[in-house]
């Protein structure tokens, strides 16, 4: 029994017959010249139907994306477009369809077959049928991945050095040769009171103190008097500046020559640091052996040191608790005594490698035997110890007991292996997704079925391989399972593989719950119930179609004969060269190029003629009729006849003049700020999101004792902080991530040789593409400041004691003088034969000795200066030498006072 066709079915069949007829007509109208254009131009050409599936393309698209022609044919643009950019690409094509005008997508991201990301510049126009209705899109593309990455790196580098200069605590500046300021960082306001706008144009005469101005001008004049090749001004000097309020500022200046691109000296550049406060106070190293010992003894981790033979020379309390030995037993024991022979050999090999390379290492799963016979598993961090001469003297080791953790990991591994073995042996695809529908787990069958790699599929959302209708149906099914908690069995839908092939599948969906019983995602099984569609074969287009393609291109297309005369070109070439079409036709390339450029072009064309191979990214400078010069980046290939003989040249060009100018300006800016950063006298650094150093300036290498190779080989910010500061540093970093200004934070930092010093650190976040990419900051050594502060406090205490001693001495001396006066009066009225007179003379002698003591206290209060009668000078000098432990040469006698007393300084 037959089924009668409806009217709509007949109309659809008629439309398909008309399209087939049009394709056949275009195929018959193709010329021999057009058959070779697509595969010989060095740009990517492609055509899409109105659904975004590839219908025609040249070999360059296969090369760029890494697919075979069979894989690409019929592939939808969603298969090679990142999921987050599909709506953007769809909107671009919709705009071209709506307006009918060609468009350019400058920053298109495309996923290659191997998973790598390509950045392309694409020009797209509408394809129309014989009756003028849109039937698809045609476009050309160019791989600009390398250019994009280079521009991104250059921009990031320029931004880094610009921000370093703008956020520097020191004053960054440049001047002309006559001393006028041409650039100054905002920090000038903090130190001198001028705004950057006020400082621009000011002279050294306005900024330097008169005595400093003379010496600076003399130094510059001496350097300029030398031959250019011997002008090597790059030095650190101390001088004095005058602030806006007229007050002087002691500063440290690091200056060097500012040169133009030809190396000519055009001015000065450098940094200036206010050292007024540093001259008044600094600090001393506060770590003592007692504190160091206390830290080690209270550590939760085991810390031990051994000599080069492996004999323990130091252990902390945690080591004794870990191994079960007393300290006096452990010290002197060799690590081989509590390590199995095979493990001891492995430890020896690691120690030997650390000794050879000087690099610390993390030792995983090291088994040792406790005193009670129990075997425990440790994680060790070992590094080389050196003596004061830098010679290796042993090893230091931090140890953590990971025995229980290893047992738990082993049990989990066995369970996971059993579970994975079952899933990998299944013929059906097994999947797990979160509540948003993004993959969290899948077996190998799922990977093979969809055609993606495991890395590509991980965290991919289901919407990436379904159309809008199927995406809606899948969402409704997931939502029903979420609300009811009941699984759905036998759900049929259609997915699209990475190759763009539609595939009918049957799926079972179950709700996943977390350990608290709350829904956390979905899991299920998918079975293939359909066959893959066969790729449609594309027809080649007519000469009129290809001409339309070339005229809609943003790039210029041209063809030359063997003499270099134009035989064909599009309107873009006329626009780039500035000539009308009538003037360009038949024109030779020598007309619009300089002799040097023409000779270079001749050699390029000659090489293409000899080898028969295309030349990619060939740069050429052209001269327009108005005399302006433009830089054209071209790809040129040979035109061959049926016998394979080269009969001319064809190519595609793009005006890159403005791009080159922008790159040059960015490069010059990056170099200027990089040089300024390197001149800073304090440590400047950048770290990535993982905390590894990506940039340090020269002073950092000198201060910490590392080489550039050691820093950029993976040295992290925590490697230069003492362990007890790690938690505080991470907490401050999290506050900075949240947008808080933590200011200057003091940490104890560690050099490569193990010595430590206090420092102030300030950091800020680095964002790229809206994401945290790392941090940059400054580190200031404050050792000298702390030392001077401690000395100042000690001097203030002594001054207070001296003041107290002086007050007591004055009061006590007054009491003694009263006693002495009364005794003298009694002696005057008493007979010398009276027995009491001897007692009174003894009192008088004792009072005199007390008076001498008060003089010593007064001398101490005066800072060691004493007033002595001339008759008592010799006796005082002898007594002072004995009392204060001074030689007679160290007791200085000064001028005679008006009252007849001598000033003696001890």
Residue 762 contacts residue 777 (beta carbons within 8 Å): yes
In the structure, what pLDDT confidence band is assigned to residue 32 with cuts at 50, 70 and 90? very low
Across 159-181, average pLDDT: 74
Q: Three-state SS for 208?
A: strand
- pLDDT for position 876: 62
| Between residues 505 and 150, the one the model is more confident about | 505
pLDDT (0 to 100) of residue 566: 92
Residue 531 pLDDT exceeds 60: no
Q: Which residue has the tokens 């969603």?
A: 78
- Say which range, 168-177, 184-193, 284-293, 357-366, has the weakest mean pLDDT: 284-293
How many other CB atoms are found less than 10 A from the CB of residue 413? 10
pLDDT single digits (tens) 572-585: 888 888 899 888 89
Give the pLDDT band (50/70/90) at residue 638: very high
Give the lowest-confidence range in 21-25, 318-322, 883-887: 21-25
Rounded Cα gap, residues 884 and 703, in angstroms: 43
Q: How confident is the model at residue 587 (pLDDT cuts 50, 70, 90)?
A: very high
**pLDDT band at 34; cut points 50, 70, 90:** very low
- Identify the residue with better confidence: 343 or 665: 343
For residue 41, the model assigns a pLDDT of 58
Token pair for residue 826? 């009694």
Q: How far is CA 274 from the centre of its chain?
A: 28
pLDDT reported for residue 230: 66
Confidence of residue 75 (pLDDT cuts 50, 70, 90): very high
Mean pLDDT value across residues 426-441: 85
Write down the pTM of the prediction.
Answer: 0.34
**CA-to-CA distance for 696 and 711, rounded, in angstroms?**
8
User: What is the per-residue pLDDT across 474-498, written as a single tens digit (0 to 9) for each?
Assistant: 899 999 999 998 998 888 888 888 8
| Radius of gyration, alpha carbons of the chain | 43
Give 613's DSSP letter. -
Per the structure block, which two tokens stand in for 293?
């010992």
pLDDT in tens, 364-414: 888 888 888 888 888 888 999 998 888 999 999 988 888 887 777 776 676
Q: Is the pLDDT at 42 greater than 70, yes or no? A: no
Query: Residue 419 pLDDT > 70, yes or no?
Result: no
Give 315-362 as a DSSP string: E-HHHHHHHT--HHHHTT-BGGGGS-HHHHHHHHHHHHHHHHH---EE
Q: What is the torsional sign of CA 820, 823, 827, 832?
A: negative
**pLDDT band (50, 70, 90) for residue 131:** confident
- Residue 651 φ then ψ, to 5°: -165, 175
The pLDDT value given to residue 273: 81
Determine the pLDDT at residue 541: 52
- Rounded to whole angstroms, the Cα distance separating 323 from 338 reads 9
Asked whether residue 905 carries a pLDDT value surpassing 60, the answer given is: no
């Amino acid at each position: 029994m037959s089924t009668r066709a409806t009217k709509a079915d007949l109309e659809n069949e008629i439309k398909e017959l008309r399209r087939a007829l049009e394709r056949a007509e275009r195929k018959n109208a193709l010329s021999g010249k057009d058959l070779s254009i697509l595969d010989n131009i060095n740009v990517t050409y492609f055509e899409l139907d109105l659904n975004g599936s590839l219908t025609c393309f040249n070999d360059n698209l296969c090369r760029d994306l890494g697919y075979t022609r069979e894989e690409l044919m019929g592939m939808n643009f969603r298969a090679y477009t990142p999921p987050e950019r599909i709506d953007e690409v769809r909107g671009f094509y919709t705009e071209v369809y709506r307006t009918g005008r060609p468009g350019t997508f400058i920053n298109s991201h495309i996923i290659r077959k191997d998973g790598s990301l390509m950045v392309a510049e694409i020009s797209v126009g509408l394809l129309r049928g014989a009756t003028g209705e849109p039937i698809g899109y045609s476009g050309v593309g160019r791989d600009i991945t390398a250019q994009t990455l280079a521009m991104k790196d250059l921009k990031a580098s320029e931004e880094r050095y610009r921000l370093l200069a703008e956020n520097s605590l020191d004053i960054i500046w440049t001047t002309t040769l006559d001393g006028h300021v041409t650039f100054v960082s905002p920090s000038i306001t903090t130190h001198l009171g001028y705004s950057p706008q006020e400082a621009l144009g000011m002279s050294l005469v306005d900024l330097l103190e008169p005595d400093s101005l003379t010496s600076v001008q003399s130094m510059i004049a001496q350097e300029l008097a030398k031959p250019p090749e011997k002008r090597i001004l790059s030095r650190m000097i101390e001088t004095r500046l005058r602030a806006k309020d007229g007050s002087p500022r002691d500063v440290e200046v690091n200056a060097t020559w500012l040169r133009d691109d030809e190396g000519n000296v055009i001015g000065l550049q450098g940094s200036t640091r206010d050292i007024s406060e540093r001259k008044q106070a600094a600090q001393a190293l506060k770590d003592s052996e007692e504190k160091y010992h206390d830290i080690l003894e209270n550590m939760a981790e085991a810390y031990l040191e051994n000599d080069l033979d492996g004999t323990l020379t130091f252990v902390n309390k945690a080591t004794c608790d870990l191994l079960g030995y007393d300290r006096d037993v452990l010290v002197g024991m060799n690590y081989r005594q509590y390590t199995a022979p095979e493990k001891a050999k492995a430890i020896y090999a690691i120690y030997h490698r650390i000794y050879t390379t000087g690099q610390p290492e993390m030792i995983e799963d090291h088994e040792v035997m406790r005193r009670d016979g129990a075997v425990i598993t440790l994680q060790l961090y070992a590094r080389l110890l050196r003596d004061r001469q830098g010679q290796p003297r042993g090893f230091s080791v931090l140890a953590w007991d990971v025995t229980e953790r290893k047992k738990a990991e082993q049990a989990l591994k066995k369970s996971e292996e059993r579970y994975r073995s079952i899933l990998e042996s299944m013929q059906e695809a097994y999947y797990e997704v979160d509540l948003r529908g993004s993959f969290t787990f899948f077996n190998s069958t799922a990977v093979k079925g969809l055609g993606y790699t495991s890395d590509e599929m991980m965290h991919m959302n289901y919407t990436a391989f379904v159309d809008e209708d199927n995406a809606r149906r899948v969402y409704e099914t997931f939502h029903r399972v979420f609300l009811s908690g009941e699984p759905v069995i036998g759900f049929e839908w259609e997915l699209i593989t990475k190759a763009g092939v539609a595939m009918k599948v049957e799926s079972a969906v179950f709700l996943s719950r977390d350990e608290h019983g709350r829904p956390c995602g979905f899991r299920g099984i998918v079975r293939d119930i359909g066959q893959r569609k066969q790729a449609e074969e594309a027809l080649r287009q007519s000469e009129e179609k290809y001409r339309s393609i070339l005229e809609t291109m943003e790039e210029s297309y041209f063809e030359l004969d063997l003499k270099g005369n134009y035989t064909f070109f599009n309107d873009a070439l006329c626009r780039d060269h500035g000539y009308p079409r009538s003037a360009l036709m038949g024109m030779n390339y020598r007309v619009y190029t300089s002799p040097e450029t023409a000779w270079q072009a001749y050699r390029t064309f000659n090489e293409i003629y000899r080898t028969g191979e295309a030349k990619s990214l060939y740069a050429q400078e052209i001269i327009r009729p108005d005399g302006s010069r433009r830089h054209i980046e071209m790809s040129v290939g040979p035109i061959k006849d049926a016998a394979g003989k080269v009969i001319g040249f064809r190519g595609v060009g793009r005006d890159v003049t403005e791009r080159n100018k922008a790159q040059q300006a960015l490069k010059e800016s990056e170099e200027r700020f990089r040089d300024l950063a390197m001149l800073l006298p304090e440590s400047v650094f950048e770290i990535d999101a993982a905390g590894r150093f990506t940039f340090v300036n020269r002073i950092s290498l000198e201060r910490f004792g590392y080489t550039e190779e050691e820093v950029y080989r993976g040295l992290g910010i925590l490697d230069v902080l003492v362990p007890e500061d790690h938690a505080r540093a991470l907490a401050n970093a999290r506050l900075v991530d949240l947008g808080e200004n933590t200011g200057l934070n003091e940490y104890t930092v560690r050099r490569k040789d193990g010595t430590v010093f206090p420092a102030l650190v300030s950091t800020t976040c680095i964002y790229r593409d809206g994401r945290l990419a790392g941090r940059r900051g400054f580190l200031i050594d404050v050792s000298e400041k702390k030392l001077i502060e401690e000395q100042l406090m000690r001097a203030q205490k002594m001054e207070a004691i001296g003041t107290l001693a002086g007050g007591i001495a004055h009061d006590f001396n007054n009491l003694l003088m009263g006693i002495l006066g009364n005794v003298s009066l009694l002696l005057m009225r008493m007979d010398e034969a009276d027995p009491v007179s001897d007692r009174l003379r003894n009192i008088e002698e004792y009072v005199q000795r007390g008076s001498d003591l008060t003089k010593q206290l007064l001398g101490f209060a005066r800072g060691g200066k004493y007033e002595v009668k001339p008759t008592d000078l010799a006796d005082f000098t002898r007594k002072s030498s004995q009392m204060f432990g001074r030689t007679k040469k160290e007791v200085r006698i000064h001028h005679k006072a008006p009252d007849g007393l001598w000033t003696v300084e001890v």
